[in-house]
Structure 1
């Protein structure tokens, strides 16, 4: 029996609700398969600020560094909006990514046919859409030097050649397993960091992965194409802020950000989390969409090498969607709660 140490970080807003769903599904997977999850629950974000006075306490860091994988719910909320940049819940997440050295964020998008009705795009545009966005995660403007006065503010964006190469390698390895098509997104007509990005990506792909068809698009053009012709994309590679923007746009294709999972991968550690954020407006109402978290759990299982279990979980999730277990962010008339959807998935795990 394989045994894994998992650090679970519920966080803020609906984070505790969706991670509770993940916890419940892991418990059932242990019943169905010869696997053991040793779960250590720790504080992060606003919850950690309230308990420890900082968004990423040392005991949380220690647990994450000693785990086989880390699962995060969400951070942030209006309660902590007046905190300084380095005392905010979001800084706890940024610091966690930096501590774990998870430099590549992988955000897959698959369109479930049963959810086509909830997309704002026409069916003929989203039919068969299957893509992955690879976002550089520990560089760029989010991590650059920051300064603020009454009259001006500065956010510095920097990238090094090595930072660009290592995330490009991840994107290329994914592309080689797919259709061997890679679109690199930048703003090279304006930004010096983007000019470097384009030069390094071009050189690296040409030399290391000549089998891959490489195309460059500007961020504004790519955003337009993402909603006008999404089937053209297979693997999208881009820097930190642009990846944040494009992956949220891709959420519209599926009908809701509540359907988008993600993994953040480094050379040693991995962090898994839904894309949707803390959604404080629906906290405690029992209507949070757990699908993104459960799909992130599927990604975690694959990263751990448990592909058989991951495949089974994917089938269980698909069956729940086919049974029209829709959350309210997808269907405002739905009567299914977070718990209802979780029970549907766990039932499917035991029965299929």
Structure 2
């Protein structure tokens, strides 16, 4: 059996609980994972003087792949966001967030299946801003050809690998003709190389309306950083919220898989929050490793547990603990 050494970052707050549940499931998938457990976040500042110690980055660089729980960014430190710092230091330029309807998760929508691919390193979200005197503030929006090319190409390659039919570039090029205009121009040029995949572009406000009106008409969406931050949460809302929304930050050399929800400190150690977002991030990780059969088996097990309804956490209408839900999915495997 092939062996995989994978960095495991439990995280803060409810992170250790959801990571524990995900680990139960992934170990049951039996693909030869060996975990390299390292700690980051608010809980390690006293010991290391930083929420992101060098040994955490060294572990990811060594293993290439990481699964992490949510991290708390402490107030008053030099970090604007531990997650953003992680993406920058490892050049994780692509944020991937699938939104897929799950059985027994009641929402206003059915059969949603959208993948949001978000550029992760530039645009307004990079936070390059300053005060102009005392009464004005200025933020700089940077879109580069290189950054646009690699995220759009990533989206097409991801679509092809996942058997998707269409890629939609999301922008505001009608107003921001230089920045978003450059992004759109690059997207149109690269689309010509992928004749097997349909391409379209949508203005971000019109796309927002389309998501909530007819999500079934959308497939893979690719967009600059800030739009991706917003639209990925809208898509998560269609399928039941952040508790069932997995995510990945992927670069040329490294990939970090994580739930997109926060650390929810008030539930620390209570073993009660929904672990599905973390388990589904693990499914994404299995696919990334080329273990498609294992990923499909885990998804089937998740669907069976949700359909039976016996081991659901409180947010899904049940009373099961995080670990109990993880064990139920593992038993189906």
Do Structure 1 and Structure 2 share a fold, with TM-score over 0.5? yes
The corresponding residue for 2:118 is 135
**Partner Cα distance (2:167, 2:145) in 1:** 19
Show the counterpart of 2:213: 228
Q: For 1:62, which of 58, 63, 86 is the aligned residue?
A: 58
Q: In the alignment, what sits opposite 1:147? A: 130
Give 3-state SS (helix, strand or coil) of 1:2's partner: coil
Hey, what does 2:314 align to over in structure 1?
Answer: 328
Assess, with a 3 A threshold, how the Cα gap between structure 1 residues 36 and 174 changes in structure 2: closer, same or farther: closer
Q: Distance in 1 between matches of 2:326 and 2:25?
A: 7
C-alpha spacing 1:127/1:26, structure 2 compared with 1 (3 Å): closer
| Contact 1:261-1:296 within 8 A present in 2 as well | yes
For 1:232 and 1:50, locate their aligned partners in 2 and report how far apart those are by CA, in whole Å.
Answer: 50
CA deviation vs aligned residue, 1:101-145 (integer Å, no higher than 9, x gap): 221111112112322xx21x2xxxx33221211111122223242
Query: What is the 5 A alignment of 1:42-191?
Result: 42-76=38-72, 80-81=74-75, 83-84=76-77, 86-88=78-80, 90=81, 92-115=82-105, 118-119=106-107, 121=108, 126-147=109-130, 151-176=135-160, 177-191=162-176
- SS class of match (2:126): coil
Q: Residue 181 of structure 2: which of 176, 195, 199 is its match?
A: 195
Which consecutive unaligned segments of at least 5 residues does structure 2 have?
none
Higher relative contact order (CA 8 A, sep 6+): 2
CA deviation after TM superposition for structure 1 residue 66, in Å = 0.3
1:179 Cα deviation from its structure 2 partner: 4.2
Q: 1:28 to 1:180 in 2, by over 3 A?
A: closer
- Partners of 2:7 and 2:65 within 8 A in 1: yes
The answer to whether the aligner puts 1:348 opposite 2:327 as a matched pair is: no
1:313 counterpart residue number: 298
Moved more, 176-185 or 130-139: 176-185
Deviation at 1:150, TM superposition (A): 5.7
Aligned residues: 329
Distance in 2 (CA, whole Å) between partners of 1:244 and 1:93 is: 13
TM-score scaled by structure 2?
Answer: 0.92
Give the stretch that moved more between structures: 98-107 or 54-63.
98-107
Within a 5 Å distance, the mapping from 1:205-244 to structure 2 comes to 205-206=191-192, 208-244=193-229
What is the root-mean-square deviation of aligned Cα atoms in Å? Answer: 2.0
Q: Distance in 1 between matches of 2:115 and 2:163?
A: 10
In 2, the alpha carbon distance for the partners of 1:282 and 1:227 equals 31
Unmatched 5+ residue regions in structure 1? none
